[in-house]
């Protein structure tokens, strides 16, 4: 997959009254490399509609588009990839369906990270780094020192996620993360584009 620095996930609860496409386009204009559609509440037809619109938007801007959980929707809209958690379809099964598309896997422990790497994940999510209200099925935060361990151990791209804000991202970067993912800090911002630019200016110092 193409390398990336800033990864934004949708979270419509953080921008009531604002359209998802408008918010995600602002994030793209702020420089995000990847957009993920993550929606745990909509019914399939609604999800499919959002996926189609986001596919169109990301194609227009040359940004990578990933769908969370719904491999059928990812295939139907020809997304660039799929993101799966530990409880979702096993990676080997997903690989049979998506072929060469990107597969990202959420991991919370070094054993999970190593397994995903061995099984051919294209990237892994590492988190939640900090406590976050965004993910309902909260596991304990993995902590910044765990990010350091992953940075030392894992060879495929990893993206730090969970409770990452402009005010704490420096210590995540200092621990070795060169790719960051955020939901609420980006899409809940009154200045989505400026927030992305601020994240990127910090991340760019790591390369």
Residue whose beta carbon is closest to Mg ion:
85
**Between 117 and 185, whose beta carbon lies closer to ligand TZP?**
185
Q: In the bound complex, what is the minimum distance in angstroms from residue 60's beta carbon to ligand TZP?
A: 25
Pick the closest to residue 127 from 64, 79, 169, 155 (CA basis). 169
Partner from ligand TZP, Mg ion, none binding residue 127, C-beta < 5-8 Å depending on class: ligand TZP
DSSP string for residues in 68-135: ES-HHHHHHTT-SEEEE-TTSS-HHHHHHHHTTSEEEEEESSHHHHHHHHHTT-SEEEE--SS--SS-
Q: What is the residue whose two structure tokens read 């959980």?
A: 69
Closest among 37, 46, 114 to 71, alpha carbons compared: 37
Answer yes or no whether residue 164 interacts with ligand TZP by CB under 6 A: yes
Looking at residues 125 to 144 of the shown chain, list those that interact with ligand TZP (rule: CB under 6 A): 127-128, 132, 134-135
Among 73, 163, 178, 199, binds ligand TZP (CB under 6 A): 163
Restricting to residues 99-118, name those near ligand TZP by CB under 6 A: 106
Q: Which of 5, 55, 106, 189 is catalytic?
A: 106
In angstroms, rounded to a whole number, what is the distance separating the alpha carbons of residues 125 and 113?
9
What, of Mg ion, ligand TZP, none, does residue 69 touch, CB below 5 to 8 Å by kind? Mg ion
Q: Give the helix, strand, coil percentages of the chain, each rounded to 5.
A: 40, 15, 40
Q: Which residues are marked as active site? A: 38, 106, 135
Name the residues that contact ligand TZP, by CB under 6 A: 9, 106, 127-128, 132, 134-135, 161-164, 182-185
């Amino acid at each position: 997959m193409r390398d990336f620095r800033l990864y934004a996930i949708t979270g419509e609860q953080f921008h009531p009254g604002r359209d998802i496409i408008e918010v995600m386009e602002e994030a793209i204009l702020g420089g995000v490399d990847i957009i993920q559609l993550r929606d745990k509440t909509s019914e399939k037809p609604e999800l499919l509609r959002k996926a189609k619109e986001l596919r169109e938007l990301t194609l227009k801007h040359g940004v990578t588009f990933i769908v969370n959980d719904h491999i059928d929707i990812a295939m139907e809209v020809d997304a660039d990839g799929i993101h799966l958690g530990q409880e979702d379809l096993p990676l080997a099964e997903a690989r049979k369906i998506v072929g060469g598309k990107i597969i990202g896997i959420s991991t919370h422990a070094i054993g999970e990270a190593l397994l995903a790497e061995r099984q051919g994940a294209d990237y892994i999510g590492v988190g939640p780094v900090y406590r976050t209200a965004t993910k309902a099925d909260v596991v304990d935060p993995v902590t910044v020192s765990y990010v350091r361990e992953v940075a030392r151990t894992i060879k495929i791209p990893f993206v730090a996620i969970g409770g990452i804000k402009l005010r704490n991202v420096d210590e995540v970067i200092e621990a070795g993360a060169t790719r960051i993912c955020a939901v609420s800090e980006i899409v809940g911002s009154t200045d989505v584009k400026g927030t992305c630019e601020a994240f990127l200016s910090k991340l760019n110092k790591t390369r």
